[in-house]
Amino acid sequence: MTADSFPALPDPAGMSDAQLHTEITALLEADTASARRWSCDRPGCDGLPHEGWLHHHARATQRLPEGDWTAWMMLTGRGWGKTKSAAEAVRAWAATPGTMIAVVAKNATLVKEICFESPKSGLLAVIPPEDIRRYSPGNGLTTLRLKNGSAIYGFGAETPDNLRGFAFDKGWLDEYAAWNRHTAQSVYDMLWFCLREAPSPQVVISTTPKPLPHVKRLVERGRRPGSTVVLTTGRTEDNRANLSAAALAELDSEYGGTRLGRQELDGVLLEDVEGALWKQWMFEVEGFRIAHPAVPPLDRLVVAVDPAVTTTDDADLTAFTVAGRSYPLEQMYGDRRPRGYVLHAEQDRYTPTAAMRRAAALYHEHQADCVVIEANNGGDYLPALLAEVDPTVPSRVVHATRGKRARAAPVAMLYEQSRISHAGPPRTFAVLEEQMTTYVGATEAEEKSPDLLDSCVWALTDLFLDPTVPGAPTATADRRLSGRR
């Protein structure tokens, strides 16, 4: 292309101040409009600047799908760009005059602060200000009305009735996996009732994958041949060009190689192992994963040890679990059952003496009440060894009279009741959670002994299930309905 191919530009020297101001304003507006462009038509585009696109823009996987579809589910890792992609989809839909669009997030606060007001990826950031007639944030309903007659309504997903009575053409469901698992499917269904009159109803779903029923249901639909549900998967790494290198390094250090990292960074929908006592959803309930400072005062805390039988190179590992129990504050109608907090889990190869030293160290570090030692397989001498190593550490001996699966089942039920939390960095519990979600109770020849799981079972059994332990909870502890006829 030669210089003659470009149109002649006006000579600033021959322009008045008003003309020059008009020309500069037009150039700035054109530059702003160009920077707002979202997706090019280059096949397989990686979203980085290239000819005709001087700014970062949509990767090929972030564009609205082609063809006839009803739901586009972006099931990706954190930071992949799904919020921006969904907001741009809403912007494209709203360009058609008179389009009614629903935006639904976990609650009214999040729909306002994330979907509408997020500085880089919210609707107010991607829709040109000159196109907006009025923005009305609210504690219940948030609305964004455009000059072309289109309107965008923001709802919280707390209850399906929030959407009742509306009629929409399109919808955006943000962080669908974070919605209340008891009502999420009903909210999704209600939105589709609101789309019943739309000529081409479509919803975009942006979420980090979690193995919850309402998420898995859509994923299963998307995997069927000829489905109208489009699945897009992706990893945090895919959007590295737009993310902080320091933050990515920290995330990889904290979550890399863990079960939570596969979900949150790699965007993997973790599947349940058939026959496993622990299901993936048990680790996703609100309040399951907390930081150490959030642990309430504990009325009992133990260090449980599952010792190895031998110390050879191919021997089992010695496992330690630190866990505590807390009773909630008294309240009229609240759940007064005690809650458990797993504070630490580790395993390694130790000689018997070194194992008892480590148990004593954990006892003092966490200011525990007792060390619980499994004494099967010839380990009856370990309590005496612990007393020799540190006579200030009290111990309690337990013997396995049932198989591991039978012992583990009541503890898994505590997780199913959402009464157990893991307190601390996710990496601390990565091996324990992997053992929990994969252990099915097969024979030793078919399945390696899950030592860390066993120590956790001993700790929580002591805290919740053994009536011989002083202060142990009992089935009759809650007497709120006693005396009723």
Instruction: Give kind and range of the element (H or E) at residue 243.
Output: none
73 and 215 inside one domain: yes
**Choice among 12-21, 36-45, 121-130, 179-188 with the minimum mean pLDDT:** 12-21
- If asked whether residues 289 and 229 sit together in one domain, one would say no
Same domain, 233 and 292: no
Say how many CA atoms lie within 13 Å of 394 toward its Cβ. 7
Q: Which pLDDT does position 478 carry in this prediction?
A: 45
- Residue 115's pLDDT band (boundaries 50, 70, 90)? very high
Is the pLDDT assigned to residue 476 strictly greater than 50? no
> What is the extent of the structural domain holding 299?
280-465
The CA distances from residue 259 to 256, 263, 427, in Å, are 9, 7, 9
pLDDT of residue 468: 77
Task: Average the pLDDT over 140-162 and give the result.
Answer: 95
Q: Half-sphere exposure of 381 toward its Cβ, with a 13 Å CA cutoff?
A: 6
Query: Can you tell me the mean pLDDT for 362-367?
Result: 97
Can you give the pLDDT at residue 399?
A: 86
According to the model, what pLDDT value does residue 329 have?
73
Strands 142-146 and 132-136: antiparallel
Beta strands in 3-116 (DSSP E): 71-76, 100-105
Name the least confident of 226-240, 253-267, 321-335: 321-335
pLDDT > 70 in the chain, percent = 86
Percent pLDDT > 90 in the chain is 62
pLDDT for 1: 43
Q: Within a domain: residue 433?
A: yes
The region, left, alpha or beta by phi > 0 then psi within -120 to 50, assigned to residue 203 is beta
**pLDDT tens for residues 384-418?**
999 999 999 999 999 887 888 889 999 999 999 99
398 occurs within a structural domain:
yes
Instruction: Check: CB of residue 393 under 8 Å from CB of residue 422.
Output: no
Are 137 and 116 a contacting pair, CB within 8 Å? yes
Across the range 114-139, mean pLDDT stands at 94
Residue 52 counted as domain residue = no
Is residue 484 scored above 50 in pLDDT?
no
Same domain for 68 and 160, yes or no, is: yes
40 domain residue, yes or no: no
Average pLDDT over every residue of 476-482: 41
Whether 339 and 432 share a structural domain? yes
> What CA–CA distance (Å, rounded) separates 402 from 412?
16
Both tokens assigned to 336: 């007064």
pLDDT of residue 368 exceeding 80, the answer is yes
Per-residue pLDDT averaged across 319-342, rounded? 84
Q: What is the DSSP letter of 177?
A: G
For residues 117 and 137, is the Cβ–Cβ distance under 8 A? yes
Give the bridge partners for 341, in sequence order.
324, 421
Same domain, residue pair 236 and 333: no
Give residue 2's pLDDT: 45
DSSP 346-377: EEE---HHHHHHHHHHHHHHTT-SEEEEE--T
Quote the pLDDT of residue 381: 86
Q: Looking at per-residue confidence, does 109 or 380 come out higher?
A: 109
Question: Is residue 320 helix, strand or coil?
Answer: strand
Cα–Cα dist 437/168, whole Å: 41
φ/ψ (deg, to 5) at 483: 90, -10
CA dist., res. 386 & res. 399, Å (int): 17
Residue 24's pLDDT band, with cuts at 50, 70 and 90, is low
With respect to residue 446, please indicate whether it lies within any of the assigned structural domains. yes
Q: Examine the domain organization and report whether 360 and 450 are in the same domain.
A: yes
Q: Is residue 345 classed as helix, strand or coil in its secondary structure?
A: strand
Binned at pLDDT 50, 70 and 90, residue 449 comes out as low
Nearest to 207 by CA among 269, 285, 260, 138: 269
Tokens (6 digits) for 251: 């995330």
Residue 395 neighbours by CB under 8 Å, 6+ apart: 370, 371, 372, 373, 383, 386, 387
Position 18 scores a pLDDT of 76
Chain centroid offset of residue 77 CA: 9
Residues 75 and 181 in one domain: yes
pLDDT at 95: 96
Q: What's the pLDDT score for residue 479?
A: 40
Residues 6-35 have a mean pLDDT of 66
CATH number at residue 418: 3.30.420.240
Based on the domain organization, do 140 and 203 belong to the same domain? yes
Residue 27 domain-assigned?
no
Residue 25, domain member (yes or no)? no
The beta-strand segments (E) located in 2-113 are 71-76, 100-105
Tokens of residue 99, six digits: 């389009």
432: left (phi over 0), alpha (psi -120 to 50) or beta: alpha
Distance CA 108, CA 129 (A): 23
Same domain assignment for residues 250 and 284 = no
Token pair recorded at residue 314: 């191919």
Does residue 248 lie in a domain region?
yes
Tally of domains in the chain: 2
Q: Are residues 96 and 238 in the same domain?
A: yes
The Cα–Cα gap between 249 and 302 comes to: 35
Return the pLDDT at 259.
80
Give the model's pLDDT for residue 379: 65
Of 117-121, 296-300, 446-450, which range is least confident? 446-450
CATH number for the domain including 86? 3.40.50.300
Is the pLDDT assigned to residue 193 strictly greater than 90? yes
Mean pLDDT of the chain: 87
- pLDDT band of residue 102 (cuts 50, 70, 90) is very high
Average pLDDT over residues 317-335: 82
64: confidence class by pLDDT, cuts 50, 70, 90: very high
Q: Are residues 220 and 306 in the same domain?
A: no
- What is the arithmetic mean of pLDDT over 262-273? 88
